[in-house]
Each structure stands twice: as C-alpha cells, then as structure tokens.
Amino acid sequence: MPLLMIPGPIEVSDRVKEAAAGAPPGHLAPDFIESFGAALERMRRVWLAGDDAQPFIVAGSGTIAMEMAVVNLLEPGQGAVVASSGYFSQRIAEMARRRGVEVTMVEAEPGAAPALDAVEAALAKGGCKALLATHVDTSTGVRVDAKALAGLARQHDALFVLDGVCATGAERLEMEAWGVDVYLTASQKAIGLPAGLALLVASRRALAARAGLKALPPMSLDFEQWLPIMEAYEARQPKYFSTPATTLVKALPVGLDEILEHGMDARFALHERAGRAFRAAWASMGLTLLPKDEAIAANSLSAVMLPDGVGPDLVAAVKARDVVIAGGLYPSLKTQYFRVGHMGVVLTRPADLEKTVRAVGEALDEKGHAVDVDAAVKAFQAVFAG
Ligand code: PMP
C-alpha cells in the first residue's frame, strides 16, 4: 500500500487495525458494551471537555456530525453567524440555510481567517443563536482562533459550534476552558481510525438548546434519540435506537488511548512541530503556502501553492513515488495548489515523513521546478528534531 498522506483518511496504527480485526461484534456483546462506554469516557478527555459534557458516537461521516450540530441547536427563523475560512464553512452555512436559519456570513479571502472584529460586528447586530466555524478548513489549510471565537460567542450569548474534522486530536482545543458548545469530528482524521464514525461532544448549553426546539430535528440526527443510548452504554448497559458501527466502535477506545497515552499537550506539540517542519521543507523548495500567514497555517495539513510551470499532475508524480497526497479543493483555486496531511500516527514515523518530503521534491524536480531534495529533507529534519 502506498503511504497515505492526504488530509484524511489517514494512516491507521497497527494497534487500531488489530482492534478492528476479527468477527464484527453484535451491539449487545459484553466486550462491545465495554468498548462503547470506554470510548465515550475517553472522548471527554481528548476533547478536554468537562465531566458534564455529552459525547455522541454515531455511524456516519464528518458531514453527518456537522448536520447533527446544526439541526439540534437551530430551528427555522433563528439566526446564525458563520465565520468562514473555506469550503467546509460554506457547507455548514448551507446546512443552516436548509434548516431555515437566517445565516450571516463573515467571509475571508481564501487563505485568510475571518477577521475577529467583523465576527464581533455580526454578533453585535443581535439575533444570533449560534456562531459556527471550522477549526481547520481542509480546503485552505487555515486554522481559526477558536479560543477568541468562543470568547466572542460567550460575550454575545451565542452558542459556539466548531467543526474539528481536520483538527480534533491534532490542534489544541480546550472545550471546557474555552467554552465551546459542540466540537465535532469524524473517525478518519487525527482520531486515527478508518472512516465511518461521526463524533461530537456537546455542552449542557447545547443539550438545553435542543430541549428548547419547537421544530424537531430529523429523527436519526436527534440528540434526544441518541442521548439515552450514550448514557446507557456509558453505564455499561446496552440500549437500542439504531445499530452502531460495531467494528469501528470496538477500535475507537484504542485510537483514543493512543492519543491519551501520548498526553494532550505532547500531542498538540508534536503536530505543531510537524507543521513547522513541513513548512520549512516547502520553503526550502521555494514554495509558498495558501494560508497568507504562518500564524494561521494549520499543523494538521499543508496547503501549498504549485510553483510556476507545474500543474496539478504533480499529485500523480508523487504517487509514482508511493506517496499519496491530495490536489486542491477550494473551487476557484483548485488547480493551483496541493495538500499534504500530517496528522496522527504517521508523526511517530519520521522516515515516512522524510519520504513524503523527498517524493514531493523529486516530483517537482521532474516537472521542471528545480529542487535540492537533500536540502529540503535537512530543513525538515532540523525542525522536526526540535
Ligand atoms: N469538515 C472538514 C473541516 C473536513 O475536512 C471534512 C472532510 N474533509 C468534513 C467537514 C466532512 O467530513 P466527511 O468527508 O467525513 O463528511
């Protein structure tokens, strides 16, 4: 198998693969009940959430998790502000519109983060039930200032929903301390599992917002349908609403344990160092980033502009070197940049990271952009070694 360096799905550890192996369990099997309960408990710790926050594990993707957040917190006629940093912020805005919500967009140029004073001005107009943002927008590689946005939401009495699909478990986020109401992700990113689980943690305020809705959410996404199930499994009792993705849930506490064994501070620091090391390698190759400022460049992935004369077929030339990277995603710039994911277990395998730098450097060289590949690898190593 080639090395998977796209921004999700990512490489999965041997321990997670072993945990997912074997006959799929039934949802009432004692070992499965234990895995489900343990996964819920560990999510609170990875999310740095309070004891009273409620984790949800539901079969699905990141998009399902986003939809769950939107339909449980908002109903037709209410207002929301979306602090947009790219394609996925636009997606959550469209979800809110389809729910009949009046959406105010605070836009940013591709590669920029939404300006905090513009977000504040939009909130100050009043009538905003929730502020929605994307922690790391995978289309632009931009990380927003989640702590500052959470502060603004609190100040204006709005709920704060943060899409962490390309960030949770990689970029620092302190759900309880910063006051985030829903922090959501999917299993295939920095959580380190195969795709197939929508993962959310909701604050008590978020649950209260659901309880206050007049327009019920679709049944399969309803917090109140899922809440008794989560409570039961955490108490090590099975309860049925809709069949869980048993194989994935069996592996989830193992993936979360790998993160927790590392320690959350060390985990965030490792991703930060990897982000800087890859940026040093790109700079040494004479490349620039799509994010306009290093301070807002994500640590979980790089979004890198293609140099003059090199087109999106760079991705295939890298693949020929047994490393899979991704093309651009932001619609108007799609053909002008490429993306490399650097999150999760692969960060414990420096040789694979160097192989990625080498593969991109050699492919660029082959396409006519001269690169000193050894120098790029050295630039990477100098930062990654700390
Ligand atoms: N939000 C972000 C930031 C993402 O990166 C993605 C997936 N790339 C999604 C949402 C949607 O997740 P999924 O593809 O699992 O539906």
For 90-139, write each residue's pLDDT tens digit.
999 999 999 999 999 999 999 999 999 999 999 999 999 999 999 999 99
- The alpha carbon of 364 and the centre of ligand 1 are apart by a number of angstroms equal to 28
**What whole-number distance in Å separates Cα of residue 141 and Cα of residue 370?**
25
DSSP labels, 61-85: -HHHHHHHHHHHH--TT-EEEEE--
3-state SS assignment for residue 209 = helix
Task: Confirm or reject: Cβ of 88 under 6 Å from ligand 1.
Answer: yes
Closest CA to 244 of 230, 259, 231: 230
Task: Confirm or reject: Cβ of 330 under 6 Å from ligand 1.
Answer: no
Q: What is the largest CA-CA distance in the chain?
A: 62
Query: Which residues in the chain belong to E strands, given as ranges?
Result: 3-4, 54-59, 79-83, 102-106, 130-134, 136-137, 142-143, 159-163, 182-186, 197-202, 301-305, 323-324, 326-327, 337-341
- The alpha carbon of 26 and the centre of ligand 1 are apart by a number of angstroms equal to 28
Return the residue whose CA atom lies nearest to atom 8 of ligand 1.
138
Helix/strand/coil percentages in the chain, nearest 5: 45, 15, 40
Residue 386 has pLDDT above 90, yes or no: no
**What whole-number distance in Å separates Cα of residue 60 and Cα of residue 242?**
12
Task: Confirm or reject: Cβ of 187 under 6 Å from ligand 1.
Answer: no
**Average pLDDT, whole number, for the chain?**
98
Q: Which of 67, 162, 165 to mutate to test the pocket of ligand 1 (most atoms within 8 A of CB)?
A: 165
The number of the ligand 1 atom at minimal distance from the alpha carbon of 138 is 5
**What whole-number distance in Å separates Cα of residue 173 and Cα of residue 369?**
38
The number of the ligand 1 atom at minimal distance from the alpha carbon of 136 is 3
Contact 166/298 with Cβ under 8 angstroms? yes
Sign of CA dihedral 43, 48, 51, 56: negative
The number of the ligand 1 atom at minimal distance from the alpha carbon of 195 is 15
HSE on the CB side for 20, CA within 13 Å?
19
Task: Confirm or reject: Cβ of 63 under 6 Å from ligand 1.
Answer: yes
Residue 287 has pLDDT above 90, yes or no: yes
Return the residue whose CA atom lies nearest to atom 2 of ligand 1.
165
- The alpha carbon of 138 and the centre of ligand 1 are apart by a number of angstroms equal to 8
Task: Confirm or reject: Cβ of 85 under 6 Å from ligand 1.
Answer: no
pLDDT per residue over 217-260, tens digit each? 999 999 999 999 999 999 999 999 999 999 999 999 999 999 99
pLDDT per residue over 15-58, tens digit each? 999 999 999 999 999 999 999 999 999 999 999 999 999 999 99
pLDDT per residue over 375-385, tens digit each? 999 999 999 99
Q: Which of 6, 58, 63, 197 to mutate to test the pocket of ligand 1 (most atoms within 8 A of CB)?
A: 63
Q: Which of 6, 10, 61 to mutate to test the pocket of ligand 1 (most atoms within 8 A of CB)?
A: 61
In terms of DSSP bridges, do strands 323-324 and 130-134 run parallel, antiparallel, or are they unpaired?
Answer: unpaired
Name 142's bridge partners.
137, 297
Percent of the chain past pLDDT 90, that is, above it, reads 100
**Token digits of residue 136:** 């790391």
The number of the ligand 1 atom at minimal distance from the alpha carbon of 329 is 8
